[in-house]
A and B are shown apart, each in its own frame.
Chain A
Amino acid sequence: MHTVVMTKGVPDFREGQVSFDEDGHLERGKTPTVMNPNDKHALRAAFQTKVRNGGHVSLMSMGPPGYKEVLQEGMRDVYADDLYLLSDREMGAADTWATAMTVATGLQNLDEQPDLVFAGFKTADGETGHTGPQTCWCLDWPIITHVLSLDIDEDAGTVRAKRLVDGDISEIETVEAPMPCFIVADPEFEPTYRKASHRLNHKDLREETQERAEEYEDHLTVWDHEDLNLDPDYIGLDGSPTIVSGVDPIPKAPSEREATMIEADEREALEPVLDELTPYAAGD
């Protein structure tokens, strides 16, 4: 089994971390980069595969050299065996299309063809949810999205998954696909380890990976567009058909309701509240 997880570094949008200028534009320089939160679902699903089925797990990302730390974080989380960063200036400012082209080429460039590729649900910065499916489209593989649980039959070369139909929690279907296959894990994905052997593997991996993650750069491969034999016209900004015409900050919601404060330390003081509420209770 060879499993690849796609991940991306995004600005840390959490309160206290993210920084905007006075026009409401994101200040990338002042905002730390973290792993896209939704990629954790992909990592969890890939990790379950590693624990239950064993094999080799690679983590792949496209981005500036600073994404190495994101990959290190991922290595700890998914107990990855090796890391791949697709990185050079020509790849910069890519939209989802150009990114998919690049990542698909990266996947094809691996020594061993992956059996499964896990992608995150959507990124916290772009929010499109396009990159995974588009990468899959480039490779012409089957894709299963909104996956809740997974079962792999290595002998048959198939993967069976429970998934939300149209992302709707009320409708769940079970589908089967031949490998290689793309998997997009839903935020509801719950890994299960009901076998003692799974948990023992888990324990082994945990110990082994902590050491590896300390020296992650020994397990990191960086590829530029020449390594991947990619034409700069088809990647990065030049290869991106998407044009961002402008960004409008979302105005703050108005909060101009009138409020009356009542000190409710005595029973009589509550009477005005009752008077206010009574009209609404009338009728039904």
Chain B
Amino acid sequence: MTDAVEEYEAVVVGCGPGGAAAAATLARNGVETLVLERGVDAGSKNVSGGLIYAEESAPYTIDGLFPGFREEATERPVTENIIHNIAGDKVKSFDIGGLHHHDTAWADAVLRRKMDSWLAQQVHERTRETGGGLLTEVHVTGLLRERGEIVGVTTEELDPIKADMVVAADGVNSELARDAGLMDWEEPEEWFQGVKAVVDMEPELINARFDVAPDDGTAHLFSGDLFDGVRGGGFLYTNESSLSIGTVFHLDSIAEERAEPHELLDSLLTHPLMAQWLGDEYDEREYSAKLVPDSKKAAHPSPHKDRLVLVGDAAGQMQAQGPIIKGMNHAVTAGALAAEAFADARARDDPSQAGDLYEKKLNDEGVMDKLRPTGYRVFGQLGELGPVDDLSNAIADSAVGRFGVRAAAGLLERAYSSPRLVSMIPDTKLPYVTLPTVIAEELGEPVTDENTVSPPDLADRIGDLTYDVGDPHIELVDKSFEASGTAVTACPVSAEDFGGGCYRDEMVQTNGSEEHLVSLDTQPCVECGTCAIVADTEWEHPAGGKGVEFNQG
């Protein structure tokens, strides 16, 4: 009958790597699986810096689950990994191949539209055989409950759907995780914000400028004084015929410094060091932005409730291993483990155990310890205490510290390559700004190249990203500048004195007094979620198929 509630054994929300891994593993276990993706195509809503890792210690890898993945869905493998310490035009580069290769079976640069849409095709074919399948343009809005228990999902486009397991792989701004009360958007300290430019470049030019073979690629990381003291750094990865260049900063630092993310990206793009790689012609294919959870603080230790399990970004499973960010690989492992847990629980005739089993597997397989390392809990957080931080910065910047840096150059390079040491790095200025700056000043050589790149302005970048958002999907609850003014600068598609973005501020005369207010236009929104944290909003995604559509991602 048409009035009956539809029911599937499992519903997977989101078809990024986490959702794809979950769906493929469920399908392999014969579980009838429906996958709901809100983009016009999987990957159209997804952005990442661009490296996916396969760890030797991980129980699952993406190419293990999807044979042919590296041939069909990725760009270039990363065969070299360099970090550049920058102070003005002085640069000291360290090879951090040791850190990069530690526990790494392989690591490839990816563009998410290509990668995720390929995965989605595989997922649809496999899940269709179980009686389910993948649907795009469906926005899952929340959880379906019966007598207070989670039993399924509600969507904007379809009638409610029941399931024995709901996998929330709906990304960093997971509406399901928030509906369940498992995640929030409260503390800027728990998040990074990344912005990225995908820059067009002929494969032959990439090979020549980066001195790599046609089937090889490279990763460059940047830190030091080029970002106005904002805590974070930059990256450059080589794709087949483009470069992914971006910056990632602690959101609390962006908020405190009232930094403009697009300007920080431009600081990197226009630095003399980049001239050798960018040359004279700069053609930006796409500007994008994303919120990144810091798993050390945000990874949920028990990411499940009733029939709901959280996977990947939705559960805060994004590991910043010093300068290297690993997210997609953990999402893949978590997705497959969640599916495995459900299959186990079902075999025991008690699907309701799936959540507990999933949590146990995350711990047993060592995923949780990577996401929330003990070393950081013991030493890293100590370093974040105000007096300790001040002292460390002062020492590093002092004559003694500088002498130490000069004396220990080789040691420093090794330290950067130590997975154990970098996992303990505190979230302070010391590792991101002070130390790299001192290293570059003491050990670096000046770069004499002239960088002639002039990146597009924000209006042009937004112009390429404006799609039909449908009804406004974000409501600004408190319009006062005090409550929501940070969004004007922190939003990657807004800026002070720029009227064409999402957020702007103005002085408004009311009954003789003057108020400093913020206004919002959701039209240029890239759905990064920054304003959900730094401003007072009611935040949700646009309807299925509406809103921003990334072609690179």
Contact = CB atoms under 8 A, between A and B. Distances in A.
B6 A200 contact: no
B133 A203 contact: yes
A196 B128 contact: no
B135 A200 contact: yes
Contacts of A197: 6
Nearest to A151: B2
B2 A196 contact: no
A194 B128 contact: no
Given A151-B2, A200-B128, A195 B133 contact: no
A28 interface: no
A199 interface: yes
Nearest to A197: B6
Contact of B6 (A52, A151, A196): A196
B154 to A, nearest CB: 12
A199 B159 contact: no
Contact of B133 (A52, A151, A194, A200): A200
Interface in B123-151: 124, 128, 132-133, 135, 138
A199 B2 contact: no
Nearest to A200: B133
Nearest to A155: B1
A203 B159 CA distance: 18
Nearest to B11: A196
B324 interface: no
Interface in B2-31: 2, 6, 8
A199 B6 contact: no
Nearest to B137: A199
A195 B160 CA distance: 9
Contacts of B135: 196, 199-200, 203
B205 to A, nearest CB: 39
B161 interface: yes
B34 interface: yes
Contacts of B6: 195-197
Contacts of B159: 194-195
Residue with the greatest number of chain A CB neighbours at <10 A, chosen from B2, B6, B128, B132: B2
Interface in A193-211: 194-197, 199-200, 203-204
A111 B132 CA distance: 34
Contacts of A199: 135, 138, 158
Interface string A202-228: 011000000000000000000000000
Interface string B96-133: 00000000000000000000000000001000100011
Contacts of B161: 196
Contacts of A52: 2
A196 B10 CA distance: 13
Contacts of A196: 6, 8, 34, 36, 133, 135, 138, 158, 161
Contacts of B133: 196, 200, 203
Contact of B158 (A195, A203, A204): A195
**Dominant secondary structure of chain A at its interface with chain B:** helix
A196 B157 CA distance: 9
A195 B8 CA distance: 12
Nearest to B159: A194
Counting chain B CB atoms within 10 Å of each CB, which of A194, A196, A200, A203 scores highest? A196
Contacts of B128: 200, 204
A194 to B, nearest CB: 5
A199 B8 CA distance: 14
Contacts of B36: 196
A132 B219 CA distance: 68
Contacts of A195: 2, 6, 158-159
A199 B133 CA distance: 10
Nearest to A195: B6
Interface in A230-274: none
Nearest to B161: A196
Contacts of A204: 128
Interface string B317-346: 000000000000000000000000000000
Contacts of B132: 200
Contacts of B2: 52, 151, 195
A199 B159 CA distance: 12
A93 to B, nearest CB: 45
A54 B124 CA distance: 21
Interface in B146-186: 157-159, 161
A197 B159 CA distance: 11
Interface in A108-146: none
A197 B135 CA distance: 10
A131 B371 CA distance: 70
A194 B161 CA distance: 10
A151 B2 CA distance: 8
Interface in B336-366: none
A196 B158 CA distance: 7
Interface in B236-290: none
A195 B157 CA distance: 9
B306 to A, nearest CB: 21
A131 B187 CA distance: 68
A195 B36 CA distance: 12
Interface in A161-203: 194-197, 199-200, 203
A197 B132 CA distance: 8
Interface string B402-426: 0000000000000000000000000
Contacts of A194: 157-159
A96 B489 CA distance: 68
Q: Which of B34, B138, B158, B161 has the most CB of A within 10 A?
A: B158
Contacts of B34: 196
Nearest to B155: A196
A151 B3 CA distance: 11
B117 to A, nearest CB: 15
Interface string B32-47: 0010100000000000
A205 to B, nearest CB: 13
Contacts of B157: 194
A195 B159 CA distance: 6
B8 to A, nearest CB: 7
B160 to A, nearest CB: 10
Contacts of B138: 196, 199
A40 B128 CA distance: 30
A197 B8 CA distance: 10
A214 to B, nearest CB: 21
Contacts of B124: 203
A237 B133 CA distance: 53
A194 B158 CA distance: 4
Nearest to A203: B133
30 contacts: A52-B2, A151-B2, A194-B157, A194-B158, A194-B159, A195-B2, A195-B6, A195-B158, A195-B159, A196-B6, A196-B8, A196-B34, A196-B36, A196-B133, A196-B135, A196-B138, A196-B158, A196-B161, A197-B6, A199-B135, A199-B138, A199-B158, A200-B128, A200-B132, A200-B133, A200-B135, A203-B124, A203-B133, A203-B135, A204-B128
Interface of B: 2, 6, 8, 34, 36, 124, 128, 132-133, 135, 138, 157-159, 161
Interface of A: 52, 151, 194-197, 199-200, 203-204
Given A200-B128, A200-B133, A203-B135, 14 more contacts: A52-B2, A194-B158, A195-B2, A195-B6, A195-B158, A196-B6, A196-B34, A196-B36, A196-B133, A196-B135, A196-B158, A196-B161, A197-B6, A200-B135
**Interface pairs A-B: 5 shortest CB-CB:** A200-B133, A194-B159, A199-B135, A196-B34, A194-B158
